[in-house]
Amino acid sequence: MNQNQEIQKLVDGVLKRNIRFIAKAISFVENLRYENKKDFLQTIFSYTGNAKIIGITGSPGAGKSTITDKLIKAFRNNNKSVAVLAIDPSSPFTKGALLGDRIRMQNHTTDPSVYLRSMASRGALGGLSQATKDAIKVLDAAGFDVIIVETVGVGQSEIDIVKVADCVVLVFAPGFGDEIQAMKAGVMEIADIYVVNKADRDFSQKLFREISNIINLSLKQPKPPILKTIATESFEQSNIENLKDEILRFLSNAKTSNNFDKKRKLSVEYELVETLTSVLINKIMLKKNIKEFFDDKSIDKIYKKELNPYEVIDKIMEAI
């Protein structure tokens, strides 16, 4: 079987929502360079754009995985198929996902309408690698109604989620220094819905007021809602059903106001720039007359101040 036949077989399996082929396709886009996977991505592109993409982000320990687990149930209660990408920090040795948040979502592993996958951030500054964005395309083409992307949770660098998600849910929990985190406007401004999880704990009301005050000072309109959840409780007591309803309400309002289209067009622009940048850098770095600027000898000279890095950059630009 030649490469084109193998790619078509992979595409057919994804379109039939065959779990084995979906897993294989995500591994395919995760581990290959753009030049090797572009034919596959080009083929599935026309089948994408139908899923609702929800980003769940926030501080480590805030309960993102538990909320995601409950959200799966809420959407499944409405007979919606759900795929989850849990983005974990990368292992410094294997570059693979380190935490494996799927452990917290084991209740759904036997449901054929639910797909769970842990992926590594692979050092991406915003917590989302290009492979994650390609994996979203695979799941979208597979026909999942809802795709939940749960991010690493490393503070302000989480702003990358806004580039792929239709709705961003920012999760806080009392006792995790969230009052300080909440002051970081870069994180606060990306959220469409705020959640104070573990709302039965001490200081949860204080945290709620802190977030409310920041939202009231923000110029963002309309003002995003703040919900209280206790995701560790039973589904009925967790208030996750209200969170699901707020997500759907936000998406409905966004479509009515054309904000949905604007956001997705921005996502297209972001990805074009990021993909082109990556492809060009890889292409440039393969040039023999460029490689010499990055050898041990050149790096050592820059380190010893015998070479000025800005002069080196100018020489690289001349050599391109």
pLDDT at 266 over 80: yes
187 part of a folded domain: yes
Task: Among 257, 283, 305, identify where a domain stops.
Answer: 257
Cα(308)–Cα(125) distance, integer angstroms = 26
CA nearest to 14, candidates 165, 105, 144, 120: 144
Q: Concatenate the DSSP letters of all residues of 241-307 into one string.
A: HHHHHHHHHHHHHHHHTTHHHHHHHHHHHHHHHHHHHHHHHHHHHTSHHHHGGGSHHHHHHHHTTSS
Residues 226 and 297 in one domain: no
Same structural domain, 237 and 112: yes
For the chain, percent of residues with pLDDT exceeding 70: 86
- Asked if residue 98 is part of any domain, the answer here is yes
Which of 257, 292, 308 is the endpoint of a domain?
Answer: 257
Question: Is residue 14 in some structural domain?
Answer: no
The answer to whether position 37 is within a domain reads: no
User: How high is the pLDDT of residue 69?
Assistant: 94
Domains of the chain: total: 2
pLDDT of amino acid 54: 97
Look at residue 87 in the predicted model and tell me its pLDDT. 85
Write the CB contacts of 203 (distance below 8 Å, at least 6 apart in sequence).
174, 175
Residue 203 has a pLDDT of 85
116-170 pLDDT, tens digit each: 998 876 544 444 678 889 999 999 999 999 999 998 765 544 678 888 999 999 9
Q: How much is the pLDDT for 159?
A: 72
Of 319, 35, 57, 5, which is closest to residue 178 (Cα–Cα)? Answer: 57
83 has pLDDT over 90:
yes
Q: Which two tokens stand for residue 32?
A: 């290959």
CATH number for the domain that contains residue 196: 3.40.50.300
How much is the pLDDT for 97?
A: 42
- Evaluate if residue 185 carries a pLDDT over 70: no
Q: Indicate if 302 and 243 belong to the same structural domain.
A: no
Residues 80 and 220 in one domain: yes
Element (H, E) at 57: strand 52-58
* Nearest C-alpha neighbor of 66 from the set 307, 237, 285, 260: 237
Say which residue, 66 or 123, is predicted with more confidence.
66
Are 206 and 125 in a shared domain? yes
Asked if residue 128 belongs to a domain, the reply is yes
Indicate whether 141 and 226 sit together in one domain: yes
Boundary (domain end) residue, out of 257, 282, 303: 257
Calculate what percentage of the chain has a pLDDT beyond 90: 49
Compute how many other C-beta atoms are within 10 angstroms of the C-beta atom of residue 261.
Answer: 11
The whole-model pTM stands at 0.88
The answer to whether 224 and 194 have CB atoms below 8 angstroms apart is yes
Quick check: 91 pLDDT over 50?
no
Asked if 129 and 183 sit in the same domain, the reply is yes
What number of other Cβ atoms are within 10 A of residue 238's Cβ? 23
Please report the pLDDT score of residue 241 as a whole number.
96
If one counts every other C-beta atom within 10 angstroms of the C-beta of residue 91, the result is 13
Q: Which segments of 82-203 does DSSP mark as H helices, in order? A: 130-141, 178-182, 185-188
* Mean pLDDT over the full length of the chain: 85
Torsion sign (Cα): 147, 155, 206, 188: negative
Same domain, 274 and 253: no
Q: Are residues 250 and 304 in the same domain?
A: no
| Residue 294 lies inside a defined structural domain of this protein | yes
Same-domain status, 278 and 229: no
Residues 275 and 203 in one domain: no
Together in a domain, 251 and 284: no
Range in 48-52, 85-89, 236-240, 246-250 with the lowest mean pLDDT: 85-89
Mean pLDDT of 16-42: 92
pLDDT tens for residues 205-262?
A: 988 988 898 888 877 788 899 999 998 888 889 999 999 999 999 999 999 998 899 9
Residue 12 is assigned to a structural domain of this protein: no
In this prediction, residues 83-97 reach a mean pLDDT of 63
Residue 30 lies in a domain: no
151 close to 158: Cβ distance less than 8 angstroms? yes
Domain with 307 in it: 270-319
Q: How many CB atoms lie within 10 A of CB 51?
A: 22
